[in-house]
């Protein structure tokens, strides 16, 4: 085990203990393969599953694993019209499991997220019976303020670029605190506690994943 791997393991123990006091289940997986197995272990066969936009889920191989398994997948990308979108979001709201990542997680166990239209964060807050948050240890920060800074300086610029948005951060790589029509920073959510005990489950992964 390298010093960095040992650090990740030790830091994860601290975070998981702090998640527990917030009524959030926490797990640590040393690598992506272990994280995939943990997700499949948590979600029973036949469950309805959906997800929010996340580079982490794809990089970890979780989406491939779900598509190869016996789940009822609710894919919002298949909705083409406004009516279809409303219908699929209604299905997601009552799904058994919703998968996502987080833009940052503090040592004290708080989740820090910024979103565009807010659908990812809406289902983190309310709706699906269970939420699984998968996060690489690269997203670990000291506190909420550090998490907010991380999102604005590390996560948003590449995400805006990936989505071909015309924003200052996509052009210059630096947040302009803009109000552009393409802005992906409309909603800021700090999750300090799960109101329903253990509804939110956080899987920390000892690798760098996502933005």
pLDDT (0 to 100) of residue 111? 98
pLDDT tens for residues 98-136? 999 999 999 999 999 999 989 999 999 999 999 999 999
What is the mean predicted confidence (pLDDT) over 159-168?
93
Sheet holding 140-141, edge to edge: 140-141, 104-106, 111-115, 187-191
Which comes out higher in pLDDT, residue 201 or 118? 201
Q: From CA 201, how far away is CA 172, in angstroms rounded?
A: 36
For residue 79, pLDDT beyond 90: no
pTM: 0.95
For residue 77, pLDDT beyond 90: no
Give me the domains of the chain, ranges plus CATH numbers.
3-109+116-140+194-205 (3.40.50.10420)
Q: From CA 146, how far away is CA 106, in angstroms rounded?
A: 8
For residue 86, pLDDT beyond 90: yes
CB-CB contact of 106 with 73 (8 Å): no
pLDDT (0 to 100) of residue 68? 81
Confidence category of residue 73, pLDDT binned at 50, 70, 90: very high
Q: From CA 193, how far away is CA 25, in angstroms rounded?
A: 11
Residue 51 is given by DSSP the state E
Using a pLDDT cut of 70, give the percent of the chain over it. 100
Residue with tokens 């550090």: 146
Q: Which residues contact 53 (CB under 8 A, 6 or more apart)?
A: 120
For residue 69, pLDDT beyond 90: no
pLDDT (0 to 100) of residue 80? 87
Q: From CA 164, how far away is CA 101, in angstroms rounded?
A: 21
CB-CB contact of 198 with 20 (8 Å): no
Average pLDDT of every residue of the chain: 95
Sheet holding 200-205, edge to edge: 25-29, 200-205, 130-136, 97-100, 48-51, 72-73
């Amino acid at each position: 085990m390298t010093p960095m791997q040992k650090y990740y393991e030790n830091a994860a123990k601290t975070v998981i203990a702090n998640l527990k006091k917030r009524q959030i289940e926490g797990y640590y997986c040393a690598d992506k393969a272990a994280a995939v197995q943990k997700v499949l272990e948590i979600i029973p066969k036949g469950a309805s599953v959906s997800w929010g936009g996340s580079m982490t889920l794809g990089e970890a191989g979780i989406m491939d694993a779900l598509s190869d398994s016996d789940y009822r997948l609710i894919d919002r990308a298949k909705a083409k019209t406004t009516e279809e979108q409303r219908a699929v979001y209604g299905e997601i709201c009552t799904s058994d499991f919703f998968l996502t990542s987080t833009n940052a997680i503090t040592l004290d166990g708080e989740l820090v997220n910024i979103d565009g239209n807010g659908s990812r964060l809406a289902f983190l807050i309310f709706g699906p019976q269970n939420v699984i948050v998968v996060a690489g240890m690269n997203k670990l920060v000291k506190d909420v303020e550090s998490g907010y800074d991380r999102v604005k300086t590390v996560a948003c610029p590449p995400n805006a670029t990936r989505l071909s948005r015309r924003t200052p951060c996509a052009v210059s790589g630096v947040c302009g605190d803009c109000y552009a029509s393409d802005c992906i920073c409309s909603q800021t959510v700090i999750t300090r506690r799960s109101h329903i005990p253990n509804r939110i489950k956080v899987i920390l992964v000892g690798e760098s994943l996502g933005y």
